[in-house]
Amino acid sequence: MIGEWMQAVTGSLFWEYRSILLFGLATNFSVFFLSAVLAVGMGLVACLARLSPLPSLRWCGAFYAELFRNTPEYVLLVWVHFVPPLLLTVLLHTRVNFSPLFSAVVALGLASSGYFTETFRAGILSIPRGHVEAARSTGLSGVLTLRWVILPQAVRKMLPEALNQFISLLKSTTLVSLIAVPDLMYQVAMITQEQMRPMPLYSGAAIIYFVIILTLSALVRKISEGWRAVGRV
């Protein structure tokens, strides 16, 4: 029993495969960065749609946000990986395949963009209307009002929430191993098949993610507190 427990925490097997595991971790982070870009971009677009004066656009934005907030990430991942390529194949009469990395980035980016839509919207709506009117009446143009009055306040308001979304996104990147993107969990599964010793490997993976995400969340908390302090004028 004690021997098994020790085996669970010793890192010898991990050290042996360190290069391949580090590469896996790097894959996690690249999927994270790419899908974060997509998520923020689509989140901004959908947020602007939600705030537009046109009811039809508003409705589309709301539908988009609700759709992606309510879909489990794994279901979306599998769907994106298998269904759109087939539909495109039928439409274009040529064989279309999505690479696992591409599907992973699209699925995680879309899933996360639903949350970003709401975060951005809440941030922008938190600015009192009077600020905009005051800025406009002093002669600032629409763009300048956005740049110097709305955004500095809105960004400060939504930053803590957005940073938390990024952490959730990083946690979700572990799912991409399920469609054979070679991330850390994928490498762990492969090495497990080779070595038949799941215990130290999966425990090690759990500890690695734990340390990384705990550190990042602590950092986020610190940054958010700093921003909140700056905001309190």
Partner 1 sequence: MGMMQRILWNNRREFLEGLLVTAQISLIAIAVAMVGGLVICLLRMYCRPLRWLATLYIEFCRSTPIYVQLMWVNYVWPELFGWPQSFFAAGWAALALQSSGYLAETFRSGIEGIARGQREAALSTGLTPFLTMRWVILPQAVLMMTPSLMNQFLVVVKSSCLVSVIAVPDLMYRALRLTSIWFEPIEILSFTAFLYVAIVFVLSAAIKWYSDRLRSRYA
Using CB under 8 A as the criterion, which residues of the chain lie in contact with partner 1 when the complex forms?
Answer: 4-5, 8, 66-67, 70-76, 78-79, 82-83, 86-87, 171-172, 174-175, 177-178, 185, 188-189, 192, 198-199, 202-203, 205-206, 209-210, 213-214, 217
First to last CA, the chain: 58
Residue 196 CB, shortest distance to partner 1, in Å, is 11
Q: How far is the CB of 5 from partner 1 (least distance, A)?
A: 7
Q: Which are the contacts of 161, defined by CB distance < 8 A and separation ≥ 6?
A: 119, 122, 123
The Cα-based distances of 144 to 3, 127, 135, 197 in angstroms read: 66, 15, 9, 60
- CA–CA separation, 154 and 148 (whole Å): 11
Taking the complex as a whole, the smallest distance from the CB of residue 83 to partner 1 amounts, in Å, to 5
Task: Considering the complex, state which of residue 2 and residue 233 has its C-beta at the smaller distance from partner 1.
Answer: 2
Closest distance to partner 1 from the beta carbon of 21 (Å): 13
Q: What is the CA radius of gyration of the chain?
A: 22
Give the whole-angstrom CA distance, residue 15 versus residue 21: 9
Considering Cα of 206, then 212, then 215, then 217, what sign does the dihedral take?
Answer: negative
Tell me whether residue 96 or residue 206 sits nearer to partner 1 (CB atom). Answer: 206
Our CB check for partner 1 shows the closer of 29 and 202 to be 202
Q: Which is nearer to partner 1, 48 or 220 (CB)?
A: 220
CB of 164 to partner 1, least distance (A): 11
Q: By C-beta, is 36 or 175 nearer to partner 1?
A: 175
Q: Specify whether the CB–CB gap between 102 and 110 falls below 8 A.
A: no
